[in-house]
Structure 1
Amino acid sequence: MKNKLRSIGEQGKHVFNQNLQIIHLGKLGKVEDATRVFSHIFHKNLVTYNSMISVFAKNGRISDARQLFDQMTRRNIVSWNTMIAGYLHNNMVEEANQLFEKMPQRDNFSWALMITCYTRKGELEKARELFDLVPDKLDSACWNAMIAGYAKKGQFNDAEKMFEQMPRKDLVSYNSMLAGYTQNGKMHLALQFFERMAERNVVSWNSMVAGFVNSGDLNSAWQIFEKIPYPNSVSWVTMLCGFARHGKITEARRLFDRMPSKNVVSWNAMIAAYVEDLQIDEAVKLFMKMSDKDCVTWTTIINGYIRVGKLDEAREAYNQMPRKDIAAETALMSGLVQNGRIDEASQMFSRMSTRDAICWNSMIAGFSQGGRMDEALDLFRQMPIKNTVSWNTMISGYAQSGKMDRAAMIFQAMGERNVVSWNSLIAGFVQNNLYLDALKSFVLMGQEGKKPDQSTFACALSACANLAALQVGKQLHQCILKSGYVNDLFVSNALIATYAKCGRVQSAEQVFKDIECVDLISWNSLISGYALNGYANEAFKTFEQMLSEGMAPDEVTFIGMLSACSHAGLANRGLELFKSMINDFDIEPLAEHYSCVVDLLGRMGRLEEAFDIVRGMKVKVNAGLWGSLLGACRVHKNLELGRFAAERLLELEPHNASNYITLSNMHAEAGRWKEVERVRVLMREKKAGKLPGCSWIELQNEIQSFLSHDSAKLRHENTQITLNTLSAHMRDKCNISDIKSTFDIL
Structure 2
Amino acid sequence: MRLRAIGEKGSQVFNHNMKITQLGKSGRIDEAIKVFSQMTQRNAVTYNSMISAYAKNGRVGDARQLFDNMSHRNLVSWNTMISGYLHNDKVEDAYGLFVKMPERDLFSWTLMITCYTRNGELDKARQLFSLLPDKRDAACWNAMIAGYAKKGKFDDAKKFFDEMPSKNSVSWNSMLAGYTKNGKMRLGLKFFEEMPERNVVSWNLMLDGFVEVGDLDSAWKIFKTVPDPNVVSWVTMLSGFAKNGKIAQAEDLFEQMPSRNVVAWNAMIAAYVQDHQIEKAVRIFRDMPEMDSVSWTTMINGYVRVGKLDEARQLLNRMPYKNIAAQTAMIYGYVQNGRVEEASQIFNQIAIRDGVCWNTLIAGYAQCDRMPEALSLFRKMTNKDVVSWNIMITGYAQLGQMDKALQIFEEMGEKNIVSWNSLISGYVQNGLYLDALKSIVIMGQEGKRPDQSTFSCGLSACANLAAFQVGKQLHHLVVKSGYVDDLFVSNALITMYAKCGKVVNANLVFEDINHGDIVSWNSLISGYALNGHGNEVVELFEEMLIEGVNPDQVTFVGLLSACSHSGLVDRGLKLFKSMTEVHLIEPLAEHYACMVDLLGRAGRLEEAFEMVRDMKITTTARIWGALLGASRIHRNLKFANYATEKLLELEPDKASNYVLLSKMHAEAGRWDEVERVRVLMKENDMEKQPGCSWIEVRNQVHAFLFDDPVQPRTAEICSVLKSLATEMTNTSSFLTSYD
| TM-score bin, normalised by smaller chain | over 0.9
Pairing 1:173-188 to 2, within 5 Å after superposition:
173-188=171-186
8 Å CA contact 2:238–2:268 kept in 1: the answer is yes
2:642 and 2:424 map into 1 onto residues whose CA distance is 41
Q: Which residue of 1 aligns with 2:512?
A: 514
1:689 offset after TM fit, Å?
A: 3.4
8 Å CA contact 1:539–1:561 kept in 2: the answer is yes
1:545 and 1:566 map into 2 onto residues whose CA distance is 21
| Aligned with residue 557 of structure 1, among 555, 558, 568 | 555
1:200 offset after TM fit, Å?
A: 2.4
* Amino acid corresponding to residue 456 of structure 2 in structure 1: A
2:189 and 2:559 map into 1 onto residues whose CA distance is 55
Q: Which residue of 1 aligns with 2:210?
A: 212
Q: Which residue of 1 aligns with 2:237?
A: 239
* Amino acid corresponding to residue 651 of structure 2 in structure 1: E
1:552 and 1:718 map into 2 onto residues whose CA distance is 52
Pairing 1:573-652 to 2, within 5 Å after superposition:
573-652=571-650
1:678 offset after TM fit, Å?
A: 2.2
Q: Which residue of 1 aligns with 2:529?
A: 531
2:89 and 2:347 map into 1 onto residues whose CA distance is 27
Q: Which residue of 1 aligns with 2:71?
A: 73
Residues 547 and 121 of structure 1: is their aligned pair in 2 closer, same or farther, counting only changes over 3 Å?
same
> What's the secondary structure of 2:710's corresponding residue?
helix
* Amino acid corresponding to residue 478 of structure 1 in structure 2: H
Q: Which residue of 2 aligns with 1:547?
A: 545
Residues 738 and 177 of structure 1: is their aligned pair in 2 closer, same or farther, counting only changes over 3 Å?
farther
8 Å CA contact 1:730–1:736 kept in 2: the answer is no
Is 1:138 aligned with 2:155? no
* Amino acid corresponding to residue 429 of structure 1 in structure 2: Y
Q: Which residue of 2 aligns with 1:288?
A: 286
1:29 and 1:347 map into 2 onto residues whose CA distance is 21
* Amino acid corresponding to residue 471 of structure 2 in structure 1: G
> What's the secondary structure of 1:553's corresponding residue?
coil
Is 1:657 aligned with 2:655? yes
Q: Which residue of 1 aligns with 2:277?
A: 279
2:678 and 2:385 map into 1 onto residues whose CA distance is 54
> What's the secondary structure of 1:619's corresponding residue?
coil
1:49 offset after TM fit, Å?
A: 1.0
2:691 and 2:737 map into 1 onto residues whose CA distance is 30
> What's the secondary structure of 1:585's corresponding residue?
coil
Aligned residues: 737
1:71 and 1:100 map into 2 onto residues whose CA distance is 18
8 Å CA contact 1:540–1:561 kept in 2: the answer is yes
Question: Which structure 2 residue ranges, 5 or more long, are not aligned?
Answer: none
| Aligned with residue 9 of structure 1, among 2, 7, 10 | 7
TM-score when normalising by structure 2: 0.96
TM-score when normalising by structure 1: 0.95
8 Å CA contact 2:27–2:323 kept in 1: the answer is no
Q: Which residue of 2 aligns with 1:35?
A: 33
The C-alpha deviation readout for 1:663-719, integer Å capped at 9, x for no partner, is 122222233333222222221222223322111111111111111122232432454
Pairing 1:28-427 to 2, within 5 Å after superposition:
28-427=26-425
2:42 and 2:304 map into 1 onto residues whose CA distance is 47
Pairing 1:710-721 to 2, within 5 Å after superposition:
710-713=708-711, 714-717=713-716, 719-721=718-720
1:585 and 1:721 map into 2 onto residues whose CA distance is 56
1:218 and 1:734 map into 2 onto residues whose CA distance is 81
1:727 offset after TM fit, Å?
A: 5.5
The C-alpha deviation readout for 1:115-146, integer Å capped at 9, x for no partner, is 11111111111111111111111122111111
The C-alpha deviation readout for 1:639-672, integer Å capped at 9, x for no partner, is 1211111111111111111111111222222333
2:557 and 2:225 map into 1 onto residues whose CA distance is 58
2:8 and 2:421 map into 1 onto residues whose CA distance is 65
The structure whose RCO (Cα within 8 Å, separation 6+) is larger is: 2
8 Å CA contact 2:220–2:237 kept in 1: the answer is yes
2:346 and 2:672 map into 1 onto residues whose CA distance is 62
Question: Which structure 1 residue ranges, 5 or more long, are not aligned?
Answer: 740-746
1:154 and 1:381 map into 2 onto residues whose CA distance is 38
What is the aligned-residue identity percentage? 64
1:314 and 1:575 map into 2 onto residues whose CA distance is 50
> What's the secondary structure of 1:627's corresponding residue?
helix
2:716 and 2:348 map into 1 onto residues whose CA distance is 65
8 Å CA contact 1:57–1:87 kept in 2: the answer is yes
The C-alpha deviation readout for 1:308-337, integer Å capped at 9, x for no partner, is 223333233333333332222221222122
31-40 vs 81-90, which deviates more?
31-40
Pairing 1:459-470 to 2, within 5 Å after superposition:
459-470=457-468
1:597 and 1:25 map into 2 onto residues whose CA distance is 69
* Amino acid corresponding to residue 445 of structure 2 in structure 1: Q
Residues 612 and 189 of structure 1: is their aligned pair in 2 closer, same or farther, counting only changes over 3 Å?
same
1:723 offset after TM fit, Å?
A: 5.2
The C-alpha deviation readout for 1:351-401, integer Å capped at 9, x for no partner, is 444433222222222222222222222222222322222221121111111
393-402 vs 225-234, which deviates more?
225-234
1:89 and 1:325 map into 2 onto residues whose CA distance is 17
